[in-house]
A and B are shown apart, each in its own frame.
Chain A
Amino acid sequence: METFKLLAPLAWRNLWRNPRRTIITLFVVSVGLWSILAVASFISAWAQSSRDATLRLLIAQGQIHAVGYMDDPNISNLMPPPDEALVAALDTSGISNWVARLELPGVVQSEYKTLPVSLVGVDPEAERRISSIPSKIVEGRYLDGPEDDSAVIGLNLAKRLKTALGRRVILMVTAEDGWLEERSFDVVGIYDADTAFEDTYIFTGRRPMQAMVGVGDKIAQIAFEVPEDAALAGVVERLRAAAPTLDVREWRKISLIMGAMDATMGGVVFIWMAVMMVMISIGVINTQLMAVFERTHEFGLLRALGFKSRHVLLLVTFESVLLIGLGVLIGMIAGAATVWGLSDGIDLSAFGKALEAFKAGDTLYLEVNPIDYIIFPLAIWALGVVVALWPAYRAQKISPVEAMRQAT
């Protein structure tokens, strides 16, 4: 404690003997930390936005299928409409919205092209509450009701088929008897999502589709929405209890890609942190080594006056603790200020099409994640001090006799 009282003010004063060098190091540390925090906020906002945007299209937060449908989505793996117990569970267990859909792989044909697609039979009324597709119609209209036997197709698919609003396309879907059932559909609406989605999904009324493929009132899936992602696991459990013979899954197990993206998004921040750590380390080692070499004579004198070698080590380490600690503090303040400054959201709509592939929404809302503000500053501080042990160790090894003899 005595040593600390002696060394702390000494270390602090030593820092400001060369203000320019200290400020440069502070700058490196604080900009490094600020960029880590900003990148972390941005990536988590982006991940959440793209997740929400994708789930809002069709997947919702979870789905119920017949066992086997996820592996082989064909007509033999459909499920009956939900029974009373399941409807009761869907209506009560913290689910904000749910829809029943029929979805089967098929082929769409125009005068010019034949392409594989997924035909989805929907109940438009319910779909408006759970899916963003009805609001993404750029030409024509969405479906009127569950009896509507027209088709709503994607913008890019319309382009590839060389078809347009008001024309008809032929859809072929394998029916109950194993034959490919063909039907002509009038294109009444064109929606604009991302191109991969547009190329895959064609929507029509659920009942005409059920009649077309001859499956009675069977459906392929129930999609449900939960207000809070945290409540999802519990909801899935309750639905499993209500429908033990069905396959209830949350979105991470439906879209494996999205589940994986969700899990690895955080990794990007750590890669950025590693890069920043190298930069900061170089800065800190450089400054502290310079500071130590410059003061060889001084350390020799201190040793001659009674400083133990560990006191020299402590002194130099203290200097780096203070230096990096101050930088970390500035970095944290700058990071938080950036996030608060952009709290109105970052408008990405100007980049519209270019960012479509990333599937994010048009506006990103950054947030301060408290855990980021504990983990990253502590990590930088600790690692910075550890690398600064090397200059400190060099200082400790200075022999007083040789150092004193050295001309200054």
Chain B
Amino acid sequence: MPALTRRHLIATSAAFLVVPRMALAQDPQAILRAAFNNWRAETSHAVMEMTIRGASGTRSLTMESWTKGRDTALVRFTAPARDAGNATLQAGRRTYVFNPRLNQVIQLPASAMQQSWMGSDFSYNDLTKTEALVNDYTHRLLETRRAGGRNIYVIEAIPKRGKPIVWGKQIVTVRDDYVLLGQQFYDQTGVLVREMVTGKVRNIGGRPYPAEITMSSVATPDQWTRVVTKSAEFDLALPGYLFTRSNLQNPR
């Protein structure tokens, strides 16, 4: 029996060493919050390429984005020439779009927020309502997987009663360095409706980052939108004028 006792002891002490870290990490809401902080930080500036594969073909757009806090963001398209200059500004609850051909800023009526953003599989709400996943859902850690030498958390998020959320649930996959690996949206009967998958994780701006994400609907698997982050900086100082309507229309 002594051998067994010793092994037991080693196992128990090893568990003791790990437990405090695990306990912190295993609060699913904290994991999600950390994943979003990793995604956007306090401020961020990124250059991205968005590829939209639609029923009528594939097109690629290049865009530059700036974010500040949780509800302020500016996205400006730079290529191709046809789409260059189009920009979207989120300032709190208001969302503005600028169209260079009309040379006009339009505040989106809230009813249009569910519409597709630049013809992609993302809606304006997808851009602006990221915080809802952290605050308006109850979370449960379904399992902790090991893959590639890392822990991967699979979190089930169910909307809180009365919150204006159509989904029955979301399943979010986060790596233990808080890289968002995937997000699945289920309807209220438990059928998967749409899915976001992180294809590549790279070190960008000094942190591990989901460098390539793909959003698609289950109903149309051959149509998808892929966003590849080319470069990014985080927690940098951004000038205050950046997120104003005048800057949206006439970039300095």
Chain A residues packing against B (C-beta within 8 Å): 106-107, 109-112, 114, 116, 162-163, 167-170, 172, 174, 179-180, 182-184
Contact = CB atoms under 8 A, between A and B. Distances in A.
Q: Which of A110, A111, A168, A179 has the most CB of B within 10 A?
A: A111
Contact of A167 (B113, B164, B188): B188
Nearest to A107: B111
- Looking at chain B, what size class is its interface with the partner chain? 20 to 34
Nearest to B123: A114
B19 interface: no
A109 B110 contact: no
Interface of B: 93, 109-111, 113-115, 159, 162-168, 185, 187-189, 193
Contact of B93 (A179, A183, A184): A179
B167 A180 contact: no
Contacts of A114: 114-115
A174 B166 contact: no
Give the secondary structure class of B's interface: loop
A122 B159 CA distance: 28
A131 B23 CA distance: 59
Q: Which of B114, B162, B167, B193 has the most CB of A within 10 A?
A: B114
B216 to A, nearest CB: 14
A180 B163 CA distance: 14
Contacts of A180: 109-111, 113
A174 B111 CA distance: 9
A106 B110 CA distance: 10
A184 B115 CA distance: 19
Contacts, number: 47
B166 A168 contact: yes
B179 to A, nearest CB: 27
Given A114-B114, A184-B165, 8 more contacts: A107-B111, A107-B114, A111-B166, A111-B187, A116-B111, A170-B165, A172-B110, A179-B110
Contacts of B165: 170, 184
Nearest to B188: A167
B30 to A, nearest CB: 26
Contacts of A170: 164-166
Contacts of B185: 111
A179 B92 CA distance: 12
Given A112-B193, A116-B111, A172-B111, A182 B164 contact: yes
B114 A111 contact: no
Contacts of B167: 111
Given A183-B164, A184-B164, A109 B188 contact: no
B163 A184 contact: yes
B166 to A, nearest CB: 5
A110 B114 CA distance: 11
Contact of A184 (B111, B113, B114, B162): B162
Nearest to A109: B166
B188 A168 contact: yes
A163 B188 CA distance: 9
Contacts of B189: 167
B164 A112 contact: no
A107 B115 CA distance: 12
29 contacts: A106-B111, A107-B111, A107-B114, A109-B114, A109-B166, A111-B166, A111-B168, A111-B185, A111-B193, A112-B187, A112-B193, A114-B115, A116-B111, A162-B187, A163-B188, A167-B188, A168-B166, A169-B166, A170-B164, A170-B165, A170-B166, A172-B111, A174-B111, A179-B110, A180-B109, A180-B111, A180-B113, A184-B162, A184-B165
Contacts of B168: 111
B90 to A, nearest CB: 15
A112 B111 CA distance: 16
Given A110-B166, A179-B93, A174 B188 contact: no
A112 B192 CA distance: 11
